[in-house]
Amino acid sequence: MPAVPYASTAVRPSWADLPADLRTAISARLGSQVTWATTAGGGFTRGFAAVLDTADGQRVFVKAASLSTQRHLTDWYAREVAVTAALPTAIPSARPRWTLTAAGYYVICLDAIEGHMPALPWQPAELDAALEAWAVAAEALREPPAELVAVGLPALSDLVRSDLSWWREIAAGREAMPPVPPWVEKQLDDLVTLEAALPGYLHGDAATHCDLRLDNVLIDPAGAALLCDWTWICFGPAWWDTASLLITAYASGLDADALFAAHPTTRDAPPDGLDAALAAQGGYLLTRAEAGPTGASPHLVAHQRWTGEVALAWLASRRGWA
């Protein structure tokens, strides 16, 4: 299991840390005084994110970032609003309510979801709920609506080709080998081959989440799952996200191979698609972890290293390499 639970990875400002003028502006937009704020414990950015309760009984989820020092976050939040507003109604996800620019900050307000992030190891019922929600979402995105396409969706194949080719860089001597299990150097040529094949498997007109992880899932009081953080949605096959989500299922001791094979999104997955995805993600995550801390949460590096190690362990198990 990771050293820090995913519900506790965030390092972000609290409501009291925000400028007074910004707090006043948010309360004014809500039309009622904020009486309580519950800061989101998960995630890896340093933006403000909290469930706000108001005197008149409202409950909303608000994110905010500085327009001067966190411009990348304000851009991400604006995209999140545009994407979630255009998602098909069948997709179980929070929807945006409004945006606000005040006191040098950009603010977005979404529906508050009553629920909790799944814990590791996965409880089978919660994983089943997440996989069911993803199946519903993926079916709704097989033909993404024109409003969503108009937001501008990158092609997953292009992203993978440009950003997830680290075994090739390592084999060519342009990147140092990160700390890896002993079998990796013996299988480096195979990892390069799997990684190189991946972009060719990811074409298509469907859309996919592109960041489906345990910490982007919430389980409501009835046990149903909702999917969050749609900022990185792109054109690509849904089985890519099924593979990403199931990395933590493998770490939980569950039969991730059977779960992948049984999921409706994997009907069109090529025979070695899962192996190619695990190879590419493992190389990317371990290499990025070695690059060291960024301006994000200090727990991001540990998340990258742990997830990369698990992805490679699953791949080794499938290929008999360990």
* CATH for 58: 3.30.200.20
Q: Are residues 171 and 238 in the same domain?
A: yes
Q: Are residues 191 and 270 in the same domain?
A: yes
Interval 120-176: pLDDT, tens:
999 999 999 999 999 999 999 999 999 999 999 999 999 999 999 999 999 999 999
Structure confidence at residue 294 as a pLDDT band (50, 70, 90) = confident
Q: How many angstroms separate the CA atoms of 115 and 305, rounded?
A: 28
Instruction: Compute φ and ψ for 207, nearest 5 degrees.
Output: -115, 150
**Averaged pLDDT, 242-251:** 98
Q: Are residues 186 and 66 in the same domain?
A: no
Residue 118 maps to a domain: no
Q: Is residue 322's pLDDT more than 90?
A: no
Interval 196-235: pLDDT, tens:
999 999 999 999 999 999 999 999 999 999 999 999 999 9
Interval 83-134: pLDDT, tens:
999 999 999 999 999 999 999 999 999 999 999 999 999 999 999 999 999 9
Interval 80-91: pLDDT, tens:
999 999 999 999
Q: Are residues 95 and 192 in the same domain?
A: no
Q: Are residues 63 and 107 in the same domain?
A: yes
Q: Are residues 62 and 145 in the same domain?
A: no
Residue 117 maps to a domain: no
Q: Are residues 81 and 135 in the same domain?
A: no
Of 63, 86, 111, which closes a domain? Answer: 111
Of 88, 111, 134, which closes a domain? Answer: 111
Residue 180 maps to a domain: yes
Interval 28-54: pLDDT, tens:
999 999 999 999 999 999 999 999 999
Residue 293 pLDDT = 77
Of 67, 83, 111, which closes a domain? Answer: 111
Query: Which domain covers residue 60, as residue numbers?
Result: 6-111
Q: Are residues 296 and 173 in the same domain?
A: yes
The mean-pLDDT minimum among 168-172, 289-293, 304-308 falls in: 289-293
pTM of the model: 0.95
Structure confidence at residue 292 as a pLDDT band (50, 70, 90) = confident
Q: Are residues 283 and 191 in the same domain?
A: yes
Report how many domains make up the chain. Answer: 2
